[in-house]
Amino acid sequence: LGNNLRGDFHMVEVNPELVRRHESNVVKGNADFNRTIDRSKPYMFHIANEVKKRNMPSEIALLPFIESAYVTKARSHVGASGLWQFMPATGRHYGLEQTALYDGRHDVYASTDAALNYLEYLYGLFGDWSLALAAYNWGEGNVARAVKRTESQGLLPTYENLKMPQETRNYAPKLLAWRNIVSNPAAFGINIPKIEDDEYFEALNVTTPIDTAQAARLAGISQEEFNRLNPGFNLPVFIPTAKRKMLLPKNAVNHFV
């Protein structure tokens, strides 16, 4: 899965018995696992690189595996959406515009930046990556209150000691299960599809609105490939703003320009 990632795994395991359970679930669903890895291919190097730039643990780059299975427009029953499963209000708070035309939560480039900003903020708040992940899943207010309750009982506010819902209790262990399998697939009898150790796409500043079919034609790629890299738009048109990027496969950029 790329040396870019494996060298920087350093989260401490929490709830090991749950981690073991999730490992066996992932291994049982081997075909799903491979499909998810395949879906991650265009985005994984970029996300791992952004995580690395910020000196965050590499495990964070695996979060979309458990949030959305790398489905760019995944929606949850509670209204979270995109690779990083932003709720509408949190998305807006982190600069992800949501209009009839465009949903920044589906924009791979913008939502990755927003998610990492949010996770850095949560880590700053709790000083512990597993608690930052709990807050990402359950909300910072809930975790802050759980920390206070735990401390008032004279206990250390660790992931294991916090009283939290089942989903949150399983959240970091599920990520750690993925981490362990990605770290050493052979130990789990799994073969991971190859992900290139190189940026798949380039982010371009495009200054005029352009029909997406025309953009794909100019880049010499299929409309499907264009949409896979630019899933933020709800209509077949790319509308630029100061911060918005058009993503194109690296080998199509010169053709397009």
What are the catalytic residues? 67
* CA-based nearest residue to 226, from 199, 247, 204, 250: 247
Q: Are 70 and 83 in contact (CB under 8 A)?
A: yes
Please tell me the distance from the alpha carbon of residue 86 to that of residue 67, in angstroms, as a whole number: 10
Please tell me the distance from the alpha carbon of residue 35 to that of residue 182, in angstroms, as a whole number: 14
Record the tokens describing residue 141, joined without a space.
Answer: 């207010």
DSSP class of residue 29 equals T
Residues in the chain: 257
Distance of CA 143 to the CA centre of its chain: 21
Could you tell me the CA-to-CA distances from 2 to 37, 44, 193, 222, 230 in Å, in that order? 12, 9, 11, 27, 24
Read off the amino acid at residue 49: N
